[in-house]
């Protein structure tokens, strides 16, 4: 039997926004995975369908690109057709701190080269919904986590809440990455206990936009305070995320590197 690898290279991809984000990722991801010898890919896909939600077809499309686990957040419920996929798939997660009665699961265990990898999805409560405590939910789920690598996507609005969870899970998670704001932060670090951390991975979608949406539509909402329907922007795209290397013997991160790649128009 071959020995287990001593290191695991994980690619995290920030919130995929609409068709432009999907098209850019389809072209970029296979090349990046090969060139950088990526072992495991986690991407947040809650905005993949028209900028909000996900469909069964898009779920299959994203997994077909080489993504191992899709995480999500508060927008995953936007299209009801995804509910049965959440129930059936262990590669699409919803935040674990929603009530147990809602569709889907908030964590999953996968194997790669004989290594067990736990991926945990949580949602913040500051400026968001009144869910179960993400800190206590993490305690409960990680207490008996039998895995060499533990990855956490914390889908939250407030930077302070994200940083607090990073410190709270330092030494218990291999990586804690933030999603939701679509704006990449420059605070990537290895915490003292060995947890790789970044407050927000950023977005994978239209670069010439307001967090992926058409600028003029968003501006009208700010200028008039009237409700407007957001539309996914077009044009050049940005792929944002982070790359983490984990020591599989200790479960601690050895490095974290931000990724932000601009691409020309990747289609409509």
Which pTM does this prediction carry? Answer: 0.95
For domain 7-262, give the CATH superfamily: Metallo-dependent phosphatases (3.60.21.10)
Please say if the pLDDT value at position 3 is more than 90: no
Band the pLDDT of 267: cuts 50, 70, 90. low
* Sequence ranges of the domains in the chain: 7-262
H/E element holding 168? helix 159-168
Distant-in-sequence, close-in-space partners of 116: CB < 8 Å, separation ≥ 6: 109, 110, 146, 147, 148, 149
Please say if the pLDDT value at position 1 is more than 70: no
Active-site residue list: 75
Q: What is the pLDDT of residue 196?
A: 98
CA distance 138 to 173: 10
Q: What is the pLDDT of residue 8?
A: 97
CA distance 138 to 143: 8
Full strand arrangement of the beta sheet holding 189-190: 107-112, 115-123, 149-155, 175-179, 196-198, 189-190
Dihedral sign computed on CA atoms, order 199, 205, 206, 210: negative
CA distance 205 to 46: 13
Taking only the tens place, the pLDDT of each residue in 209-265 is: 999 899 999 999 999 998 888 899 999 999 999 999 999 999 999 999 999 999 987
> For residues 197 and 169, is the Cβ–Cβ distance under 8 A?
no
Strands (E), 126-236: 149-155, 175-179, 189-190, 196-198, 203-206
Please say if the pLDDT value at position 151 is more than 90: yes
CA-nearest of 35, 28, 36 to 10 is 36
Band the pLDDT of 268: cuts 50, 70, 90. low
Taking only the tens place, the pLDDT of each residue in 6-59 is: 999 999 999 999 999 999 999 999 999 999 999 999 999 999 999 999 999 999
């Amino acid at each position: 039997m071959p020995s287990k690898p001593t290191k695991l290279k994980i690619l995290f991809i920030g919130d995929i926004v609409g068709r432009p984000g999907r098209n850019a990722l389809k072209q970029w991801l296979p090349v990046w995975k090969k060139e950088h010898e990526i072992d495991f890919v986690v991407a947040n896909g809650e905005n993949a369908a028209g900028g909000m939600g996900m469909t069964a077809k898009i779920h299959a499309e994203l997994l077909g690109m080489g993504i191992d686990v899709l995480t999500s957040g508060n927008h995953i419920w936007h299209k009801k057709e995804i509910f049965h996929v959440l129930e059936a798939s262990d590669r699409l997660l919803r935040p674990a701190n929603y009530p147990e009665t809602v569709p889907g699961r908030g964590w999953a265990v996968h194997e790669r080269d004989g290594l067990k990898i736990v991926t945990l999805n949580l949602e913040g409560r500051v400026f968001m919904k009144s869910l179960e405590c993400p800190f206590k939910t993490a305690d409960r789920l990680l207490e008996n986590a039998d895995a060499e690598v533990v990855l956490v996507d914390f889908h939250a609005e407030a930077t302070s809440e994200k940083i607090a969870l990073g410190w709270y899970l330092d030494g218990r998670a291999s990586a804690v990455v933030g999603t939701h704001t679509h704006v990449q932060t420059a605070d990537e670090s290895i915490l003292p206990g060995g947890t790789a951390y970044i407050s927000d991975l950023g977005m994978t979608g239209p670069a010439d936009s307001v967090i992926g949406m058409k600028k003029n539509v968003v501006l009208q909402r700010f200028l008039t305070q009237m409700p407007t329907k957001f539309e996914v922007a077009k044009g050049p795209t940005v792929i944002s995320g982070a790359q983490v290397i984990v020591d599989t013997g200790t479960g601690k991160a050895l490095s974290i590197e931000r990724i932000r790649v601009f691409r020309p128009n990747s289609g409509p």
